[in-house]
Each structure stands twice: as C-alpha cells, then as structure tokens.
Amino acid sequence: MGLTATILPILLAIVITIIAYLSSNSASIFQLPKWLWKSETETYLEDKIRFQFPGHSCHVLQEDRQSLDWWRPIDFVTSHAGKDLVEPILFNGVPGILKVPKLHLHLQTLTSTLANTGVVPFVHLTQWVLENYGHNTPSGFTDKFRSMDLAGLEEVHRRLQHEEFYFLSVLPFTTVPAHRFPKLLGLCGDGFMVERSGVVLGERFIREHGWEEAVKDVAMSFVDFATELDAALLEICDVKLDNFAWNPATKSVLVIDLDSMFFKEALGIQFASRQCRDNADCRYFDCRGDRCDAEAGMCRMEIGDSNLARICRKIFLPRFWQKGLFSAAPLVRIPGLFALAERCGRGGDGSELVFGQLRQMLTD
C-alpha cells in the first residue's frame, strides 16, 4: 500500500508531462483540453492583450503550434540565456519568433539618469547609446531620437538595454545587407517579434543536405558574411551553427541570435575593462583579446582574432561532439579543408591570404 501510494503520483506526473509535450506538437492526434493546459506563449499574450499597450501588436499574434518543430532543434541545444521566452508565433499570419528578454533589476530609467543634468532628453539618450554601444553606432539611428517625446525616449532607452533589440534596430543603418539578419516585426509588452526565415543550421542540416547540394554554398556565404561584418566594424562573439539559418531563396546565411554582437570599439572597451593573469582571461565568448598585460593585470584593448577566424574555428571545424560544415565535404577534400580552417582559426597575420585560399577551395 505504501509503495503504491508513492509510485502512483510519480507515474501520474510522468503521464501529464508526456501529454503536455504531445499536445504542443501539431503532429499529435491527441490534444490536451485548453482549459487544462496553456503554453507560456498563450499565457503571455493573454496577459499583454489585456493591457492594450499603445503602439504594440499583441492583438495580431498567436502561437504557431504547427511550426514548433522549426524551433525545437535549437531548444535542445541552447539555453536562450537572457530570455524568458523564445517561441514561434504568427504575426498577422506571417511566421515569426516572439522573444521576451528577462527583466533585469538593474535597469535604469532615462528620467533617473537625466535628473539634474540639464541635458536635452534626446541628446542624453544619444550619449548613453554611444557610451554603452560605442561611437561606431550610425548617426542615422540616433537621429531618430530628435522627434520623440519623453515617453517615447523612455521606452526606447528601456528596450535598448537589451543587446539583441539594439542590434536588430541599428543593423538597418549599417552596411550589412538586410538579408543577413531577421526583420524586426513589432512589439508586445516587454517582448519583440522578428521574422522567421530560412532553415536553422546544425547537425540535422548537415545530415540532410549534401556538400554539393547546399553545404558548400553555406560555407561560402559565411566567408562573405565575415567580410561584410568587418566592413561595418562589427564583431560577432557567440559563433555556433544554431545561431544561424540558411535561406535557400537568397542563398545566404543569416544570423538569428544577436545577443553577443559588438561594434569593434565597444568590444575593445569590453576587453580593456577585464582583469587578467594570463591571455586566456582575455576572452568574451568566442572573441579573443590581443593579450594580457601581466604587469598591469588588465587585458589590452586590441582584439586578437577576427570574424573569419571565429567562423573557421566554430563553424567550419568540428566542435566537441558536433560536426562542422567541412565535415560534409567529400573525404578526399576533408584533410585540406580542415588544415586551412585550423590555420584560419588561429587568426593573426595572413588572414587576407587565408581568405583567398578559402574562396578558391570552396569554388573548386
């Protein structure tokens, strides 16, 4: 009797968990009644629609259960650190992703930082952006602040304290082609929606697409993307396959997670603020600082690698248990591609030569 009383609640909990999972999958023939279970997305949308935020688009959103499998391969790999919610939705019928950043207790209001400064609000917000994200921020982006009232500036200031929202907003003002990043669709409460396009990269993509069919083109697109980032003075520091997608229509890679992107100047400042005992301490995710100044105990401001070097290390070569793109090449070509990617991944001098060799090997 005692053993049965112990096991039954556990079995019941397991059954309910399995049913909840199946009910979130459109392919399932069983659907849990809505009165018994709601997803996080439905709960969030119902809550925000009730408040009717001016200028927000919560009322045209709905959970896209038929597309949960699009996002599921990523959910098992990444933690979406910094987000309370990352789920597929439909925005006026258009496939999108709802991203809700975690609310940080240390977020400041523009009004509190503006107090007793005597500075005009839009000028103050411009200065704040340049101090936090670097003077490489395009002036076309900050010029928009001039026409905003204090309430509008306050909301922009709050949202720009989340790095991904900042870059989604500022990238259209850079030289990076628009097809390289998702379009910002609208706002809903503290969340924002981006378009969903392309096929998420990862092991599944490599298995299902051959080298000549698609993977070689993906690799070439990554090489071109690195040069576009360099031209815009941008550095991307969280480099892994499932942070990117492949759009077969445009034959181009696009970045779908912009949490760890920096303008070059801002990344240098990030390094210079770090204490260190050796060079290994001078890193931020996949970005490497130049070196540690052991005498001062601080990292140098210079950046020690490049976008292309990170792509070679983290995208082209195998990473822990995951295959890299070059793993899909014909066996006879893998040794040469791996050797070139390893040399490229070390960075340093000769990057232009390596760039040319990569393009040559990928077009052969």
Q: What is the 3-state secondary structure (H, E, C) of 75-122?
A: HCCCCCCCEEEEEEEEECCEEEEEEEECCCCCCCCHHHHHCCCCCCHH
- Write down the pLDDT at residue 23: 44
Residue 314 has pLDDT above 90, yes or no: yes
Class of the CATH-defined domain 199-363: mainly alpha
- Write down the pLDDT at residue 25: 43
**CA-to-CA distance for 210 and 329, rounded, in angstroms?**
8
Residues 48-92: tens digit of each pLDDT: 544 455 555 666 656 655 554 444 444 333 445 566 678 888 888
DSSP per residue over 240-252, as a string?
-GGGEEEETTTTE
**CA-to-CA distance for 195 and 95, rounded, in angstroms?**
6
Residues 185-212: tens digit of each pLDDT: 888 777 888 998 889 998 889 988 889 8
Helix axes 121-133, 163-170, angle to 10 degrees: 110
Mean pLDDT of the chain: 80
Token pair for residue 258? 């912009």
**CA-to-CA distance for 1 and 101, rounded, in angstroms?**
48
Helix axes 351-363, 216-231, angle to 10 degrees: 150
Q: Which residue has the higher pLDDT, 85 or 125?
A: 125
**Residues forming beta bridges with residue 252, ordered by sequence position:** 247
- Write down the pLDDT at residue 73: 42
- Write down the pLDDT at residue 316: 95
Unique residue bearing structure tokens 């209001």: 109
- Write down the pLDDT at residue 51: 47
Token pair for residue 270? 């990030």
- Write down the pLDDT at residue 59: 61
Share of the chain above pLDDT 70, in %: 76
Token pair for residue 97? 């992703």
Q: Which three-class secondary structure state does DSSP give residue 208?
A: helix
Question: What ranges do the domains of the chain cover?
Answer: 26-107+181-197, 110-160, 199-363
Return the sign of the alpha-carbon dihedral for residues 112, 147, 191, 181: negative
- Write down the pLDDT at residue 56: 58
Report CA-CA distances (Å) from 337 to 221, 240, 318: 16, 18, 12
pLDDT interval class at 107 (50, 70, 90): low
Name the DSSP class of 149. -
**CA-to-CA distance for 256 and 183, rounded, in angstroms?**
10
Give the highest mean pLDDT range of 82-86, 150-154, 218-222, 289-293: 218-222
